[in-house]
Amino acid sequence: MKAKSAVMVCVTGQRDCDRLIRAGRRLADQEACDLHVLCVQPVEPCGTSCGEELEYLRQTARDAGAEMTVYFQDNAPVIAASFARRIGAKHIFTGMAEAPVNGFVEILHKLLPKTPISMVAKSGVIYNIWPEEAKSAARPAKLAPALK
């Protein structure tokens, strides 16, 4: 059975990832597809503050009409790529890497070279990685900056 197409949002355990969920919801609405939120946490326990942040993001996802799936695994890009394939992700949203860069977006792009990835900066500016074939084809409607 082929999965219905969806927009996927990758969040960490940080409260300000709510901007990613809002940006993903806008594109999902434009494209009339489902929204899925994924959080891959390291196996090492993150403590009670992390639990509070994850609960806040789960509620934000629910408010946006999406369920949030959480995996505890150390290889986040591989888990994210597998999840994206399973749900039929047509577009992926992530945050912007800060120094030091952990390589998540680069590895995810290598694993899913045909899937557009949008990185939402804390300022709300959205940066895109487009697949080669999409650079000459029509792109989705212009993505508005994320709401703060």
CATH at 88: 3.40.50.620
Residue 117 CA to residue 29 CA, distance in Å, equals: 17
* pTM of the entire predicted model: 0.84
**Domains in the chain, number:** 1
Q: What is the pLDDT of residue 147?
A: 45
Q: What is the pLDDT of residue 1?
A: 42
Q: Within a domain: residue 31?
A: yes
Q: What is the pLDDT of residue 140?
A: 52
Q: Within a domain: residue 143?
A: no
Domain that holds residue 113: 6-136
Q: Within a domain: residue 141?
A: no
Residue 109 CA to residue 104 CA, distance in Å, equals: 9
Query: What's the number of CA atoms in the CB half-sphere (13 Å) around residue 4?
Result: 8
Span 62-91, pLDDT tens digits = 999 999 999 999 999 999 999 999 999 999
Q: Within a domain: residue 128?
A: yes
Tell how strand 34-41 and strand 68-72 pair up. Answer: parallel
Q: Within a domain: residue 100?
A: yes
Span 103-114, pLDDT tens digits = 899 999 999 999
Q: Within a domain: residue 146?
A: no
Q: Within a domain: residue 148?
A: no
Mean pLDDT value across residues 10-33: 95
